[in-house]
Amino acid sequence: MTIKHLKERTALVTGSVQGIGLSIAKCLAAAGARIGVHGLATAGQIEAALAEVRAAGAPDARFFDADLRDVAAIETMMAQAQAWGPLDILVNNAGMQKTAPLAEVTADLWDAIIAVNLTAAFHTMRLALPAMAARGYGRVVNIASVHGLVASKDKGPYVASKFGLVGLTRVAALEYASAGSRATGGVTVNAIGPGWTETSLIEPQIEARAIITGGDRDAGIASLLSEKQPSLRMSDPSEIGELAVFLCHRQAHNITGATIPVDGGWTAQ
């Protein structure tokens, strides 16, 4: 039986209508948290995500609609979440990526990726952390990437945004390290750096590799991962979610400022 150590806590997970974000939301729900779901989605996708979170164990769930490129929209969302909460857990998961050589990256593409992946996290953190500190408990988990620790070609804006998110995580961790106590749980700010993770976004790449390897999906995955990820295994999104849940535990009060790679050895090379 799952221990409900997040009972009576409220969490907001950005970009949580699908993929890693939804898995994180469900894992937090299973630990007893009320869940704020966020994302760009249709009415049907929103209802489906809320239903999954409630089924996972959330005593309450609510959808928050905000374009993370719009500071005013972020401020409105955070005010609404704090009023619904108070907000104990913030997971900055929303992100975007588009590959292109530096010479082909447009100003608009750069601005959009930095806005969603980095600037939005800055605004949610600046609005959430003071109240967390005042209550003596708070958890910020930023979903960075292996690309917040190492680079790859054709991902300039994405890598820059994720390196920036890792740096921002460390600064915030230092600024709030002394807030609260061991008894209250303190305020921590950490990042998770997923490597290859099995979501619908990378399914086309898996299928392409599977065709090359004679239709064997597992062989296709191994071929894809062999370039970077030594384990030759992808992570399941729920594994990222369970790590986020652990970081929210009161006993994780002294884990702060860390970026934890979940990358099958990618960054150990």
Q: Are 194 and 183 within 8 A, CB to CB?
A: no
pLDDT digits over 12-36, tens only?
Answer: 999 999 999 999 999 999 999 999 9
Model pTM?
A: 0.95
- Burial string for 218-253 (b: 16+ CB within 10 Å, else e) reads eebbbbbbeebbeeeebbebebbbbbbbbbbeeebb
* 137 belongs to the catalytic site: no
Q: Mean pLDDT across the chain, nearest whole number?
A: 96
According to CATH, the topology of domain 10-195+236-260 is: Rossmann fold (3.40.50)
Confidence of residue 2 (pLDDT cuts 50, 70, 90): low
CB–CB of 45/17 below 8 Å? yes
Tell me 197's DSSP state.
Answer: B
Cα Dmax for the chain: 58
**8 A C-beta contact, residue 199 and residue 16:** no
At 1 the pLDDT is 42
Residue 83 has pLDDT above 80, yes or no: yes
Q: Name the region of 86 (left: φ>0; alpha: ψ -120 to 50; beta: rest).
A: beta
Domain boundaries, the chain: 10-195+236-260, 196-234
Mean pLDDT confidence for 43-68: 98
Q: What's the pLDDT band for 205 if we cut at 50, 70, 90? A: confident
Report the C-alpha gap between 32 and 8 in whole angstroms: 7
User: What does the pLDDT look like over 141-177, one tens digit per residue?
Assistant: 999 999 999 999 999 999 999 999 999 999 999 999 9
Query: How many Cα atoms occupy the beta-carbon half-sphere of 89 within 13 Å?
Result: 32
* Separation of alpha carbons 182 and 163, rounded Å: 30
Residue 199, token pair as written in the block: 């979501």
Selected catalytic residue, list 64, 158, 196, 266: 158
